[in-house]
Structure 1
């Protein structure tokens, strides 16, 4: 199975400033074209930060999706390993069976719910550990759901966020989506804006000079990626993360 690597560079004095503001460096995983869980949230980041993961998954369920709640602390059905092309069935008592079906070259697996309302949760291997990577914000009743983990991640800073926290929106100081469809190794940098001195912005690649600035973006489950109207994090603003 393929493995992926992302290098995140935090330039100038931003690492110290963002940590002073209580912001965690977060990575979220795209499943079914949405992001909803802090797959990893790092508080002790530095100038150079490396993240690696594989297409290795487990599937579970929880009784409720709640913004700010942590999946690592919630009671969940026993998670089962699953591979692309396979199906996992949840019976009418809420138990998950082992994955069935032959693994294939498909880009998805199937969850079949024969019980009451539930919320599927996907764990994925990152930095050598299985961590919650996505949860369905809407839940599902009896029926089938095709789950498609996309080769995309969302990188952002957020105050107080921890690995496994559920969310539906991310705003200041902006987000950047990285697509691994054509590469297994990518880099991204948080830099001082050339057009707005004192502000920070995300750019693609390991930046040294002459970088191309992006339009600052926010994210929500409801609307996806949208331009961030309020700008980025101000270096000397104690409330820059609000």
Structure 2
């Protein structure tokens, strides 16, 4: 995978997946531009157990007449391809020229704005094989240079009534960074008491692949646990003679029970040394 390509894999537990769809939640992804996350890059309701998103730092720049919270982005100019490090000019007639200059994927790009009426500049980014909007300037600008700096940083969360290309003006305050491989809700009270969505911050600056998973109580699908890595299979036993795994579903905790168990035990986050929490059924203890 090249330096400007990266992928996100999201696992969702079966109980959580059922509840999220029942309550009409979408998996929302936003991408940072100029220090803000103000457009829903992806709002996905067709979710499965495993969901993969592939991003590439290829952009399009455009102008629009308005920024409106809750509205879908609607370009007023043509959308023009541009890469990091390049520059482009919007003429006094409102027409973009071609992008030019050396490419630097780690840098932003510059719009030389010669248009004299107020205009909001926006940015699209490539996901999979299609472009979606990632940013619209909330305030219009007049003629002059405009600098747009997308970052390899994403917000991920679940919310109702949002969809791809929708503008949002809220301040992002309820956010966390999952810094350990397994983060079993040691801040459960904070999640359940705060009514706003919990935003998970992901940084692809030094990596090209991130895998996360999500588990939530069935009656509160948006108040769940974000963890790094694929979903852990609990009570799983390895049989070397047959090279197979087995588990007993009847005795395994449900997603809701796991969350409640974590709350009752007041689990601390794993140490930075990389230790993991192992949960097995009673029959598997002491067996090789």
2:210 maps to what in 1?
A: 186
- Alpha-carbon shift at residue 75 of structure 1 (Å): 4.2
1:114 maps to what in 2?
A: 114
- Alpha-carbon shift at residue 189 of structure 1 (Å): 1.8
Take 1:213 and 1:53, find their aligned partners in 2: how far apart are those partners?
34
Take 1:144 and 1:84, find their aligned partners in 2: how far apart are those partners?
16
- Alpha-carbon shift at residue 111 of structure 1 (Å): 1.2
Query: Of 22, 25, 28, which aligns to 2:27?
Result: 25
Q: Structure 1 unaligned segments of length 5 or more: list them.
A: 215-242
Secondary structure of 2:111's aligned partner: strand
1:203 maps to what in 2?
A: 227
Higher helix proportion (structure 1 or 2):
2
Secondary structure of 2:205's aligned partner: coil
Q: Structure 2 unaligned segments of length 5 or more: list them.
A: 173-194, 235-257, 270-288
Secondary structure of 1:16's aligned partner: helix
The answer to whether the Cα contact below 8 Å between 2:39 and 2:133 also exists between their aligned partners in 1 is: yes
Higher strand proportion (structure 1 or 2):
1
The answer to whether the Cα contact below 8 Å between 1:38 and 1:161 also exists between their aligned partners in 2 is: yes
Deviations 1:152-173, CA, capped at 9 Å, x for gaps: 1111112121111111226733
1:52 maps to what in 2?
A: 54
1:100 maps to what in 2?
A: 100
Query: Of 38, 41, 53, which aligns to 1:39?
Result: 41
C-alpha RMSD of matched pairs (Å): 2.6
Deviations 1:163-202, CA, capped at 9 Å, x for gaps: 1111122673311010001110001222238xx9x94132
Q: Which moved more, 1:135-144 or 1:2-11?
A: 135-144
Instruction: Provide the TM-score with structure 1 as the length reference.
Output: 0.78
The answer to whether the Cα contact below 8 Å between 1:175 and 1:202 also exists between their aligned partners in 2 is: no
Specify the structure having the higher radius of gyration (Cα). 2
* Distance change >3 Å, CA 106–CA 43, structure 1 → 2: closer
Secondary structure of 1:50's aligned partner: strand
The answer to whether the Cα contact below 8 Å between 1:53 and 1:128 also exists between their aligned partners in 2 is: no
The answer to whether the Cα contact below 8 Å between 1:8 and 1:189 also exists between their aligned partners in 2 is: yes
Take 2:268 and 2:20, find their aligned partners in 1: how far apart are those partners?
20
2:131 maps to what in 1?
A: 130
- Alpha-carbon shift at residue 105 of structure 1 (Å): 5.6
